[in-house]
Amino acid sequence: MSDSDPRTDAAADGAVVEAVHRTAEDIGSMEIRGAATIADAAARALGTQAAESEADSPDAFRAELRAAARVLHDTRPTAVSLPNALRYVFRDVEGGNVERLRASVRASVSEFCDRLDTAQNDLGRVGANRLRDGDTIMTHCHSTDALACVETAVEQGKSLSAFVKETRPRNQGHITAEALAEMGVDVTLIVDSAARRYLNDVDHVLVGADSIAADGSVINKIGTSGLAVNARDRGTPIVCAAQTIKLHPDTLTGHTVDIEMRDEREVIDDETADGIGSPTVLNPAFDVTPPRYVDAIVTERGQFPPESIVTLMRELFGEGTSEPWAEA
C-alpha cells in the first residue's frame, strides 16, 4: 500500500464515504469513545468504505482507503488502538482487482473485530484471577477491558464492591457505575477528589489504558496518575487492563505519546467562565502513569509487570511500524 501517487490521493479525498465521516465525527465528539470501541468503529468504517467504494481501479480503491484511514486517524491522537486497528486492516490489501481488494478488506475487518472481542474475553479471564470473593475495587473513567475482568469474576461467583470515580469533566464514571450495577456489583459513586479518602477500603485499583508505552507507562484518562500515586502511598495494588492493541509501537523507538487537549467548554461554559474573570482553562484528556506506580498490566497474553511489557511489544511489532495510509 505504500506506492501512492499524489494525484490519485488528492482525488480520493473526495471519495471518502459518508459513513466514514460520520464515524470520525462521532469519535471526535466522543459519541464513540474508549480505546477498544474506537478501534472497532474505525475498522468497521474502513470496511464500509471498501463496501461502498465506486473506485474503478485497484490504485483508486487503495487511494480511497488511505484517504478514509486519514480521516479516521486524525480524530483522537492518544488511543493507539486507532492506528493499530487501521494498520491491521491494511495488512493484506496488496494485489488483485477491485473486487478482490474489497473482499480482502472486509475479511480483515471482520477478523479484526472478532479478535478484539476474543482478546477482551481472554483478558477478562486473566484479570478475574486477581479478584477474590468479597474484594472492593476502585475504578476511574470507563474501560471495557477493566469491566471484562469484573464481569468474569462475577460470573465465577465472586461478590464484589466498587468505588467508582465520577471522572470529570465528562463523567464516564456514570457509565461504569451503570455497567457494574447491571453485573450485580455493589457500587458507590464518589467525586474524583474523594479517591484518597477511600483507598484504605479498596483491594485493587482497576483502570484501562489508551496506550501503553515501551517503558511500561500507562496512558489513560486524566486523573489516573494521581490515583496511582495515592494508591501506591496507601499500599493498594493498581492494575491496568489493556489488550495488546493498546501497546504503542512508536514508543519502541523513543517516541512519546501525544496527549489530547480537548475543548475548554467541557470544563466550564462560556458564561460561567466570564463570570469568574475568564481564566485560562486547560482540558487534557489523558495523563501518563509511570511504571513504578503500576503493579501489573493485564493483557489477553497474560499479566506483566509494566517494565517487562517491552518484550511483548518487540514480539508483536518488531522494532516499529509504518503508516500505510500516509499520502505520497
Q: Which residues are catalytic?
A: 141, 210
- Closest among 115, 112, 104, 6 to 50, alpha carbons compared: 104
Pairing of strands 161-165, 186-190: parallel
Residue 154: count of CB within 10 angstroms of its CB = 17
Nearer to ligand RUB by C-beta: 61 or 163?
A: 163
Does 150 bind ligand RUB (CB under 6 A)? Our answer is no
Q: Which stretch binds ligand RUB (CB under 6 A): 32-40, 55-63, 296-304, 316-324?
A: 32-40
Does 285 bind ligand RUB (CB under 6 A)? Our answer is yes
Pick from 210, 250, 287, 300: which binds ligand RUB (CB under 6 A)?
A: 210
Burial 21-49 (b: 16+ CB within 10 A, else e): eebbebbeebebbbbbbbbbbbbbbbbbb
Binding mask 85-124 for ligand RUB (x = CB under 6 A): ----------------------------------------
Pairing of strands 218-221, 286-289: antiparallel
Does 324 bind ligand RUB (CB under 6 A)? Our answer is no
Does 145 bind ligand RUB (CB under 6 A)? Our answer is yes
Cβ 144 to ligand RUB shortest distance, Å: 3
Pick from 47, 77, 208, 291: which binds ligand RUB (CB under 6 A)?
A: 208
In the range 124-143, which residues lie near ligand RUB by CB under 6 A?
Answer: 141, 143
CA-based torsion, 206, 211, 216, 218: positive or negative: negative
The H or E element that residue 282 is part of is: none
Nearer to ligand RUB by C-beta: 144 or 289?
A: 144
Does 218 bind ligand RUB (CB under 6 A)? Our answer is no
The H or E element that residue 124 is part of is: helix 98-128
Does 220 bind ligand RUB (CB under 6 A)? Our answer is yes
Q: Which stretch binds ligand RUB (CB under 6 A): 45-53, 149-157, 204-212, 231-239?
A: 204-212
Write 192-199 long-range contacts (CB < 8 A, 24+). 192/140, 192/165, 192/166, 192/167, 192/168, 192/223, 195/138, 195/140, 195/163, 195/165, 195/226, 195/227, 195/230, 196/230, 196/234, 198/138, 198/163, 199/138, 199/230, 199/231, 199/234, 199/236
Q: Say how many residues touch ligand RUB, by CB under 6 A.
A: 18
Nearer to ligand RUB by C-beta: 8 or 144?
A: 144
Output the residue with the shortest Cβ distance to ligand RUB.
208
Pick from 36, 68, 126, 238: which binds ligand RUB (CB under 6 A)?
A: 36
Contact between residue 174 and residue 150 where contact means Cβ atoms under 8 Å apart: no
Q: What residues make contact with ligand RUB under the rule CB under 6 A?
A: 33-37, 79, 141, 143-146, 172, 208-210, 220-221, 285
